[in-house]
Amino acid sequence: MKHLVGKVITKEVSFMDDKVEVRKLSVSEVMAIQDLVKKAASSKKDDSQLGVLRDVLRRAVIGAEEMTDQEFDSFPLAELNKLSEAVLGFSGMGDGGASGN
At residue 96, the pLDDT reads 46
Asked if 98 and 61 count as a contact pair (C-beta separation under 8 A), the reply is no
Between CA 90 and CA 71 the distance in angstroms is 24
Task: Give the whole-angstrom CA distance, residue 83 versus residue 52.
Answer: 13
Average pLDDT over residues 66-91: 95
Residue-wise pLDDT for 34-52, tens only, equals 998 888 888 877 788 899 9
pLDDT category at 97 given cuts 50, 70, 90 is very low
How many whole angstroms separate alpha carbon 42 and alpha carbon 29? 20
**For the chain, what are the domain ranges?**
47-94
Tell me the mean pLDDT in the region 6-12: 93
